[in-house]
Structure 1
Amino acid sequence: MDQQSSQLRQSPVRDQHVALGATFAPFGGWEMPVSYAGVVAEHTSVREAVGVFDVSHLGKAAVRGPGAAELVNRCLTNDLGRISPGQAQYTLCCTPDGGVVDDLIAYLVSDDEVFLVPNAANTAAVCDALSAAAPAGVTVTDEHTGHGVLAVQGPRSAEVLAQLGLPQDMDYMAFADAQWQGRAVRVCRTGYTGEHGYELLPRWADTAELFAALLAAAEPLGGQPCGLGARDTLRTEMGYPLHGHELTADITPVQARAGWAVGWGKPEFWGKQALEAEKATGPVRRTWGLRASGRGVPRADMPVLVDGVLVGRTTSGTFSPTLRTGIALALLDTAAGLSPGSQVVVDVRGRSLPCEVVAPPFVPAHTR
C-alpha cells in the first residue's frame, strides 16, 4: 500500500471489496471501490435489476436536545415543517452569500432529534457550523464511524430487503428503524440513482455482515455489487448534483436549479437574504444538461461555446450507459438565451463536440 492509500480512511466493508476484485480510488478522504465488474455492467444492473453499494464514506451526524429540529430548520435551507417524524428531506447548508457548504439529507426523528447525512469531506464543516449556532442543551455529534451506509437500488430492491425481513413498504423519503438479526438498522427510502431504492444505516460493526447478506439476496435477482463509478453515471443521468461540481461555495442553489430545496417562506436560514435577492433578479448562470450529438464524451470543467463564444463550462460529464452517448451538466450564462434544443459545442481537449441543450433528467426517474 502506498503512503497516500495508508492515509485514507477505509470502509468497514473494505476486505469484502478486495475479495470481490474491486478497484479503488480516493474520494473525500476515503479509499472507496470504484468498480468490480465494470461501470457499464453495474450501471445496467441498477437500471434493470438491483445493485448494492457501500457508501459508508458518507458523513453521519446527530443533532439532539430540546429544540434540535428548530435549530436545523433555522440554519439549513429546506423547511423541516413540511415533513413529519419518520420522514427525510434533502437540504443545503449555505454560506451567508448563498454559496453551498454542503448538500445533505436530514432525517427528522423527533422535535428533539435530527439525523444528518452530509458528504464525506464536508461533515466536520457542517457539524462545526451547527454547533456554533446551537443553543444551550442542543448537541451536534459527529458520528461518521458510528454507522455504515449501504444503498440497495433498482426495480428489484424491495425483493432484496424482503428476503432479509427488512421493511420495504414506505413512501419515498420516509424511513423506519428496524432490526436485522437482533441488530438495529435504519431503513430509508432514499437514493442517488433515480431508481426505486433504499439506503440502510447499520451500526459500523454490523455493516460488513449486512453488506454480504444483501449481496447474497441480490445476486439471484440479477444484482451485483456496484462502485462509485456507476453511482456517478447513474446520478449524472438524473441530473443530480455532486458537491464540488454542481454545488460549490461559488455555485448557489438558484444557479444549480436546487431552489426547490429552499424553504423560501421560512423566516430565516443561512444565506436567505442573498438567495432571495438572486431569485428576484434571476441568476446570471444556470445549470443545464448537454447531450452529445457527435462521438465523444464531455468531462468536467470543459469550455462550452456558441458560435465560438464562451458561454459556460461543464461541471460533470460522462458516457451514459443508458443512452449510449456522452452527457454533461454545465453551468451556462443566462444571457446566452439557451433553452432545450439549443445547439452548443463542448471543447473536448481541443476537439469540438456538438451537443444539444436538454433539461435534466436525461432518463425518466423511477424513485416513487
Structure 2
Amino acid sequence: MTDNQLLHGPLEDRHRQLGASFAEFGGWLMPVSYAGTVAEHNATRNAVGLFDVSHLGKALVRGPGAAEFVNSALTNDLRRIGPGKAQYTLCCTEDGGVIDDLIAYYVSDDEIFLVPNAANTASVVAAMKARAPQDLSITDEHRSYAVLAVQGPRSTEVLQALGLPTDMDYMGYADAEYGGVPVRVCRTGYTGEHGYELLPTWDAAPAVFDALVAAVGEAGGELAGLGARDTLRTEMGYPLHGHELSLDISPLQARCGWAIGWKKDVFWGREALLAEKAAGPARLLRGLRAVGRGVLRGELTVLAGDTPVGVTTSGTFSPTLKAGIALALIDTAAGVSDGDRLIVDVRGRPLECDVVKPPFVAPKTR
C-alpha cells in the first residue's frame, strides 16, 4: 500500500512535529515510536503513556431496540451492563469465526456505540446493516471521533489536570467536555495498566492532544506509539485480530469464551460455538517464555521434541521481563500443560520456551 492509499488520522502533523516514526497499520499511517519502544513501554508501566489510536473504528447503532439488536448479533450479553458501561465483545460468522473483537458502549436502549478494529469497521457495519430491522440506523463514524489512550499508574493525575472525570469503575464511561467540546472518557485500555480512553470529536482532537501532551510530560510520562502498544498488550496476553483471533481462529481457541453470553438464545455463530465448546477446541492459545536468549515472532513453528504441535501468533521481547515471549496456538491433542517446555524454531535455531498462562505480567486495570 502506497502513502497515497493510506488513511491519515487527525493528529499526523502533531506526530511529525514531535519526531514520530510511522508505519502502516490497518490501512492507516500511524506513529510507531517517538523515544523508542522500550522507553515508551517502561514509561507506561511506571508512570504514564499517551497513545493516539484514532485508527480504531467507530460505529453507531441507533433506533428503537438498538441494544436488543446488538445483543442478538454480538457474543457478549449486553443485559449484563447498562447506560454508562462498556463491554468487550465479538462479532462472529455463523461458523464461529471472528469478524472482529470490539468494545460496545451502552448509551441507551436505543443507542449503542461500537469501537471495532481499524481494518474491520466496514465489515462489522456491513454485517449489521445486512440483518438490522429497517427502523435501525447503522452508521460508520470512523472519522467522526479520535481515540486517545492515557495508560499507566499516573493516568488519573493526567486526566484530572484537564478537569476530566476519573472516578468511573473499570469499563465504565462518562460523557464530559474539554474546552467546550464533548469528550467521552472510558476506563478501558489495551496495556494492562490503570488507564483511560478518550473519544473527542475528530476536529477537536488536536486541542485535547496538546493538553494531554503537556500533562503527561508533567507526570513524567512519554508519548507512545503502536510499537509499545504491541509489547504492552502481548505481556498481557491480549488478543490482536488477525493474529490471535480471525475468521479461522474462534473465540474458544483464543480463550475468549468469557466474552460469550452462553445463556443467550441467539447471537451470530452461537450453534457453531456451542458445538465447539461441547467437543473441545482442537487448539488453544498459550503463552511461551523463552528460557535462553532469543526474540520470538509470529508464525514460528512450535515443537514438542521433533513433533510440530503449534504455531506462534504474536511474539516480542518483553521489556518488563527482559525475555522473549510469545502467544501460540497449540494443538490440544498434544497434551501440553502449563509448565511444560517446548521448542520454537527461530529461523532454523531451536529456542527452548516454557509454557506459561498469560498474562506474563500482572495486570493493574482494576
What letter corresponds to residue 338 of structure 1 in structure 2? V
- Equivalent residue number for residue 192 of structure 1: 190
Instruction: Kindly provide the CA deviation profile for residues 127-169 of structure 1, in whole angstroms up to 9, marking residues without a partner as x.
Output: 0111111112111000000000000000000000000000001
Alignment of 1:49-60 (within 5 A): 49-60=47-58
Structure 2 counterpart of 1:365, which letter? P
Aligned match of 2:10? 12
Write out per-residue CA displacement over residues 216-269 of structure 1, whole angstroms, 9 at most, x where no aligned residue. 001121111100000000000000000000001000000000000000000000
SS of corresponding position for 1:335:
helix
Give a deviation string over 1:326-345, Cα, whole Å, max 9, x none: 00000000011111110000
Distance in 2, matches of 1:296 and 1:162, equals 41
Number of equivalences: 366
Task: Say whether 1:323 aligns with 2:310.
Answer: no
User: 1:196, 1:215 → 2: CA distance?
Assistant: 18
Q: Which residue number corresponds to residue 346 of structure 2?
A: 348
1:328-368 CA deviation, whole Å, 9 max, x = no partner? 00000001111111000000011101000000000000001
- What's 1:250 paired with? 248
TM-score (norm 1): 0.99
CA distance in 2, matches of 1:209, 1:348: 45
What one-letter code is carried by the residue in structure 2 that aligns with 1:241? Answer: P
Q: Take 1:86 and 1:216, find their aligned partners in 2: how far apart are those partners?
A: 28
Deviations 1:16-52 (A, max 9, x none): 1001111100000000000000000000000000000
Gapped regions of structure 2 (runs ≥ 5)? none
CA distance in 2, matches of 1:224, 1:207: 18
Matched, 1:137 2:140: no
Partner of 2:213: 215
> Deviation per CA, 1:64-93, whole angstroms, max 9, x where unpaired?
000100110000000000001110000000
Deviations 1:77-129 (A, max 9, x none): 00000001110000000001000000000000000000000000000000011
Looking at structure 1, the residues matched to 177 and 218 of structure 2 have their Cα atoms a distance apart, in angstroms, of: 24
Matched position secondary structure for 1:165:
coil
- For 2:2, what is the secondary structure of its paired residue? helix
Taking structure 2 as the reference length, the TM-score comes to 0.99
State the match for 1:238 in structure 2. Answer: 236
**Distance in 2, Cα, partners of 1:7 & 1:95:** 29
Q: Does 1:118 align with 2:141?
A: no
How far the C-alpha of 1:5 sits from its partner, in A, is 1.2
Structure 1 vs Structure 2 CA RMSD: 0.6
Work out the CA distance in 1 between the residues paired with 2:51 and 2:282: 37
What residue is the counterpart of 1:109 in the other structure? 107
Distance (Å, rounded) in 1 between the aligned partners of 2:39 and 2:334: 38
Question: In structure 2, what is the equivalent of residue 339 of structure 1?
Answer: 337
Runs of 4+ in structure 1 off by over 3 angstroms are: none
2:210 maps to a residue whose letter is: A
Distance 1:126 1:236 in 2: 25
SS at match of 2:312: strand
> Which of 88, 91, 113 lines up with 2:89 in the alignment?
91
Unpaired runs of 5+ residues, structure 1, are: none
Q: Secondary structure in 2 aligned to 1:344?
A: strand
Report what 2:74 is aligned to: 76
Aligned counterparts of 1:93 and 1:361: Cα–Cα separation in 2:
24
The aligned residue for residue 61 of structure 2 is 63
**Following TM superposition, by how much is the alpha carbon of 1:301 offset from its aligned partner in structure 2, in angstroms?**
0.3
Measured in 1, the distance between the counterparts of 2:250 and 2:132 equals: 24
Give per-residue Cα distances to partners, 1:297-348, cap 9 Å, x unaligned.
Answer: 1100000001110000000000000000000000000011111110000000
Residue type matched to 2:165 in 1?
P
Give 3-state SS (helix, strand or coil) of 1:104's partner.
strand
Residue 303 of structure 2 corresponds to 305
Alignment correspondent of 2:151: 153
Identity of aligned residues (%): 67
Q: Which amino acid aligns with 2:151?
A: Q
* Separation in structure 1 between the aligned mates of residue 50 and residue 3 of structure 2, nearest angstrom: 24
Q: Does 1:180 align with 2:178?
A: yes
3-state SS of the aligned residue for 1:241? Answer: coil
